């Protein structure tokens, strides 16, 4: 798949898949950013990506981010739409510092990865009834009966 991409700082490398089996490509940070304790910050990803029609781009934290940097992504995953590729639409990674000290994300560091996924827009068909038996509610999978012995009845 060919994808149109623009680097904000051409001195930094394009995102790349680190191995032949990698499904995600690493985003490289454009500038050194300090995230204060407990704060949420935006780290610039150095690229504007034109997501191909029929796809979404997911921005996902690298699995080592909490352990190595004490940073988490408060929204868990970023969704980049097909029409988010204007001149000011640099990919930004939202992170929260969960430590008691400032965290420095250095220019050129890899803190997130991108992954393209196929998508379709829903065409809603409104109904009055789905014609199915109730499964048991939120968190009910894995139970063989409608009775849940671990639930305490409300009085």
Q: Is 134 exposed, middle or buried (0-12, 13-18, 19+ CB in 10 A)?
A: exposed
- 101 inside domain: yes
Residue 133 is assigned to a structural domain of this protein: no
Query: Is 41 among the domain residues?
Result: yes
The answer to whether 115 and 58 are in contact (CB under 8 A) is yes
- What does residue 44 show for φ and ψ, rounded to 5 degrees? -70, 130
**Which CATH number do you get for residue 78?**
2.70.40.10
Query: Is pTM, for the whole model, over 0.75?
Result: yes
Closest CA to 30 of 115, 113, 110: 110
> Bridge partners of 96?
40, 72
Asked if the structure places residue 126 within a domain, the reply is: no
- Count structural domains, the chain: 1
In a domain, 66, yes or no: yes
Sign of the Cα pseudo-torsion (100, 104, 109, 114, in order):
positive
User: Whole domain around residue 85: which residue ranges?
Assistant: 4-8+24-118
Per-residue pLDDT of the chain (155 residues; tens, 9 = 90+): 999 999 999 999 999 999 999 999 999 999 999 999 999 999 999 999 999 999 999 999 999 999 999 999 998 899 999 999 999 999 999 999 999 999 999 999 999 999 999 999 999 999 998 887 776 777 767 655 555 555 555 55
């Amino acid at each position: 798949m060919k994808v149109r991409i623009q680097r904000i700082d051409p001195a930094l490398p394009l995102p790349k898949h680190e191995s032949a089996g990698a499904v995600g490509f690493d985003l490289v940070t454009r500038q050194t950013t300090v995230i204060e304790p407990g704060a949420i910050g935006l780290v610039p990803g150095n690229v504007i990506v034109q997501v191909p029609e029929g796809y979404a781009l997911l921005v996902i934290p690298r699995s080592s981010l909490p352990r190595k940097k004490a940073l988490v992504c408060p929204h868990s995953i970023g969704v980049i739409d097909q029409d988010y590729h204007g001149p000011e639409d640099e990919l930004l990674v939202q992170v929260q510092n969960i430590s008691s000290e400032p965290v420095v994300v250095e220019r050129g560091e890899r803190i997130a990865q991108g992954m393209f996924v196929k998508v379709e827009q829903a065409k809603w068909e409104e109904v009055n009834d789905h014609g199915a038996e109730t499964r048991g509610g939120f968190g009910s999978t894995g139970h063989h009966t409608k009775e849940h012995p671990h639930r305490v009845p409300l009085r």
